[in-house]
Amino acid sequence: MATGQAGCAAVVRPATDPRFGDYQANGVMALAKQIKTNPRKLAESVVAQLDLSDLCEPPEVAGPGFVNLRLKPEYAATELLRIANEDGERLGIRPAASPQTIVADFSSPNIAKEMHVGHLRSTIIGDCLCRLLEFEGHRVVRQNHIGDWGTQFGRVILGLWHMCMAEKHGQPLYYRTELDGLRRLAKSGEDLKRLCQHILDRHEKDWRKDSTDLDNLGDGERCFHPFLKKLRERDPHEMWPEFLAVYQYVSLLEECASGMGLKIPTRDAGDKDYAYLSRHVTTMLQRLDRQEYDAWEYVTELTLDECFDIYTKLGVTFNRETDIRGESFYNDRLPAVVSDLRDSGLAVESNGAVCVFPPGFKTKEGEPLPFIIQKSDGAFLYATTDLAALRYRVNELKAGRIVYVTDARQIQHFQMLFKVAEMAGWDTRDGKKVELVHVTFGSVLGEDGRPLKTRSGENVKLKELLEEAVLRARQVVNDKSPELSDSQKDKIAEAVGIGAVKYADYSNSRTSDYVFSFDKMLAMDGNTAPYMQYAYARVRSIERKARTKGVDVRSELASIKTLNLSEPSELDLAKHLVRYAEAVESAIADYRPNYLTAYLYELAQQFSAFYTNCPVLDAPPATRPTRLLLCDQTARTIKHGLSTLLGIAVVEQM
Ligand code: ARG
């Protein structure tokens, strides 16, 4: 307007420093540069023509051409009252103008393995995004793309087969002893080959014997299959560590043996031709015999039992019937992915493999980078499955948007996936583009600044990490509130411990790495879960105290016609409360939970300043209802942010 130019962005942002107001418009400088004029002069002419009198004090020009905006107290007062009296729990947040069906792909651990901290991030960030998007009014379809196919599949079967053989030989734990041996020798070398040879010789004998049994009885019905059936009668919590051990045994054996050029005989290998274990895996993939299928199914269920224990602890909701859609689900759809891409000419053969070369992707040497969808031995890959999953989500789940939550190391995979989908036209339905989003995150580091590992260098198990958090939180609660009962303390410790782990993750910018520190995340001050939970409990204690003083909070709140914001700290708190929607909307727009935690932290601090300056229950009758409303709205907002949107439990007392 001031320039006669159309379509200029005002670029209004929350002010970085409250001394300059509540918002600042930064658009003038860029515009001034564009039309080659003095930015400060331009800002002054913008301000002269700007009428925001219903919302703001007269705008001010600052620095080289910023326009500072300060909300009017009357606006803050009426807006806060409006939000407080609104029906339901929207807290000023508007529903999305055009709700979509959004598929969220997150958590997605691999079967036969323990979940580690990398999965923690995908799981809780994904869960938070689902909560945010659902609250905004979208239909969210959760998809846990578990890695239940591929190399691990062969190891799962072979592992269970070893378990079966161990029982048959009456040495139920041979694999544990041998696993220890392999681990020890893998470090020192020397006798490793002898041990491997010993295992493989026995393996071969068993395998041949078993094969003969199979030939006589068909399909291994005599030995392996009955064994698998019996497994289901055992307690899954006892079987899980047992299974992990045998799985590691098979994996390490494979690693050692192939490193030494040793070969593992397989069922399909002819007399002369021994194959590597990985070949065995490939054959397994091609033929789904009953007992193999049963073995796989058993281990999938076993893994999911473990995962769901963790999801429940974390307050993450997955529906086991509908939301678990692992890689194996797409098996039948993989050949069509390859043939369709070949038919359209997008996929070509290169060194025996089938690949797409999306433009713009290069290897280090500057060669075109292939997106490989079929290996020369016919096997399909991670990429093939993701293409099949994408088609399924677009065409059958009717996604308008697909959001993938994985660590940043997969950036290139997803860039290529999205590009290939676009080239094939698979990212459109009924002529409309489906939005494809990759939400990435950094690593969790130990206090030494390196990826978080145990002392012995293994991945930190998520389950143990959470147990430790709760244990440490129990200590904090003990120190802080010795007067509470044991069962109260347990409940609070659970909320604080789990909350602390989640909050620490959310409050860091998700794209950065962060250092995992129990001491920091459990600190009672700073931007932590216990600080926020304590802030909430403190506000709630005012209401409890009111009751003992005979103050009827609800009826005072109901009687309010206008708010009386006379103290600066009341006004600051009120202004911050009306800006909740802004924080939530920006968290949704950028898929960044830390915008929400930063808002909540500031809210707790504003509240603290207000509560220090302004007596509430002892306030004069003219101001008490306003102050009670500020308390009540603070409690509602913290609770909504923490528990509804971040999935972190609040406690009434701490
Ligand atoms: N299973 C993979 C992992 O543990 C993550 C899968 C992510 N989702 C996907 N559609 N590729 O790294």
At residue 269 the predicted structure's pLDDT band, cuts being 50, 70 and 90, is: very low
- Ligand 1 centre to CA of 513 (Å) is 19
Reported as a single tens digit per residue, the pLDDT across 195-227 is 888 888 887 777 667 665 555 544 455 677 788
Closest C-alpha residue for ligand 1 atom 8: 145
218: left (phi over 0), alpha (psi -120 to 50) or beta: left
Check residue 643 and report its DSSP letter: I
CA 25, CA 9: separation in Å to the nearest integer? 9
Name beta bridge partners: 374.
Answer: 354, 380
**Residue 55, helix vs strand vs coil:** coil
Extract the tokens encoding 193: 């080959």
Token pair, residue 66, equals 């910023």
Neighbours of 419 (CB within 10 A): 18
CB of 374 within 6 A of ligand 1: the answer is: no
- SS in 3 state form for 436-494? EEEEEECCEECCCCCECECCCCCECEHHHHHHHHHHHHHHHHHHHCCCCCHHHHHHHHH
| Residue 402's pLDDT band (cuts 50, 70, 90) | very high
Query: In the numeric block, which tokens belong to residue 466?
Result: 């959470």
C-alpha 175 to ligand 1 mean position (Å): 30
Question: Per-residue pLDDT tens for 109-142?
Answer: 998 888 888 899 999 999 999 999 999 999 999 9
Q: Return the C-alpha torsion angle 310, 313, 317, 322, nearest 10.
A: 40
Reported confidence tier of residue 268, pLDDT bands at 50, 70, 90: very low
3-state secondary structure (DSSP) of residue 388: helix
Output DSSP code: residue 430: T
pLDDT value at 272 more than 80: no
**SS3 category, 115:** coil
Ligand 1 within 6 A of CB of 110: yes
Largest CA distance in the chain: 96
404 CB within 6 A, ligand 1: yes
Give the amino acid at 156: V
At which residue do the structure tokens 């393995």 appear?
A: 113
**In angstroms, what CA-CA distances link 319 with 83, 120, 235, 311, 456?**
33, 18, 22, 11, 36
List of E strands, 301-434: 347-350, 353-356, 371-374, 401-407, 428-429, 432-433
Q: Which CATH architecture has domain 326-441?
A: 3-Layer(aba) Sandwich (3.40)
Residue 279 has pLDDT above 50, yes or no: no
Task: Give the chain's mean pLDDT.
Answer: 89
- Which residue owns the Cα nearest ligand 1 atom 3? 109
Nearest Cα to Cα of residue 596 among 455, 502, 513, 459 = 502
For residue 537, give the H/E element and its range.
helix 529-548
Contacts of 243 (CB under 8 A, 6+ apart): 112, 159, 160, 163, 299, 302
- The neighbouring-strand residues paired with 57 are none
pLDDT in tens, 331-356: 999 999 999 999 999 999 999 999 99
Residue 100 CB-half CA count within 13 A: 16
Determine the 3-state secondary structure of 88 from DSSP. coil
108 lines ligand 1 (CB under 6 A): yes
How far apart CA 20 and CA 47 sit, in angstroms, is: 15
Helix orientation angle between 290-314 and 151-168, rounded to the nearest 10 degrees: 110
Q: What is the pLDDT of residues 532-552, one digit of tens each?
A: 999 999 999 999 999 999 999
Residue nearest to atom 5 of ligand 1 (CA): 108
What is d(CA 569, CA 50) in angstroms, rounded to the nearest whole number?
A: 28
Name the residue with the closest Cα to ligand 1, atom 4: 109
Show Cβ contacts of residue 489 under 8 Å, excluding neighbours closer than 6 positions.
Answer: 474, 477, 478, 481
- The average pLDDT across 471-493 equals 95
Residue 274 has pLDDT above 60, yes or no: no
Q: What is the bridge-based pairing of β-strands 347-350 and 353-356?
A: antiparallel
Q: Ligand 1 within 6 A of 105 CB? A: yes
Q: Which two tokens stand for residue 238?
A: 């006892």
Q: What angle do CA 124, 130, 132 make, to 5 degrees?
A: 105
- 621, exposed or middle or buried, with CB in 10 Å at 0-12, 13-18, 19+? exposed
Question: What's at 526, amino acid-wise?
Answer: G
Predicted pLDDT of residue 223: 77
For atom 11 of ligand 1, which residue has the closest CA? Answer: 386
* Nearest atom in ligand 1 to 407's CA: 12
How far is it, in rounded angstroms, from Cα 345 to Cα 522?
Answer: 57
pLDDT at position 151, please? 66
Q: How far is CA 142 from CA 325, 332, 647, in A?
A: 9, 22, 16
Tokens coding 357 = 């070369």
- Among 165-174, 434-443, 598-607, which is the least confidently predicted range? 165-174
Report the residue among 108, 152, 441, 459 best suited for mutation to probe ligand 1: largest number of ligand atoms under 8 A from its CB. Answer: 108
Q: Where are the domains of the chain?
A: 12-70, 151-288, 326-441
Q: Whole-angstrom Cα distance, residue 634 to residue 83?
A: 12
Predicted local confidence at residue 290, as pLDDT: 66
How many other C-beta atoms can be found within 10 angstroms of the C-beta atom of residue 560? 15
Question: Which residues lie below 8 Å from residue 1, measured CB to CB, with a gap of 6+?
Answer: 46, 49
Measured in angstroms, how far is the CA atom of residue 512 from the centroid of ligand 1?
A: 20
Name the least confident of 100-109, 390-399, 408-417, 454-463: 454-463
**Pairwise CA distance, residues 129 & 440, whole Å:** 12
| Euclidean distance between CA atoms 133 and 645, whole angstroms | 9
At residue 52's C-alpha, the angle toward residues 48 and 53, to 5°, is 100
Q: Are the C-beta atoms of residues 434 and 427 closer than 8 Å to each other?
A: yes
Over range 437-465, report the average pLDDT: 91
d(CA 609, CA 570): 9
Identify which of 120, 300, 405, 406 to mutate to test ligand 1's pocket (most ligand atoms within 8 A of the CB). Answer: 406
* 310 membership: H or E segment, kind and range: helix 290-314
Terminal Cα distance for the chain, rounded: 55
Spacing, Cα 583 to ligand 1 middle (Å) = 30
Cα 321 to averaged position of ligand 1 atoms, centre (Å): 19
Instruction: Give the confidence band of 262 by pLDDT, cuts at 50, 70, 90.
Output: low
* Å from CA of 109 to ligand 1 middle: 7
Using 50, 70 and 90 to split pLDDT, how confident is the model at 11?
confident
Which fold would CATH assign to domain 12-70?
Answer: Gyrase A; domain 2 (3.30.1360)
Q: Residue 35, exposed/middle/buried by CB under 10 A (0-12, 13-18, 19+)?
A: exposed
DSSP result, 498-525? HHHHHHHHHHS-TTS-EE--HHHHT-SS
Q: What type of residue sits at position 604?
A: A
For residue 330 and ligand 1, the question of a CB distance below 6 A is answered with: no
Res 259: pLDDT:
65
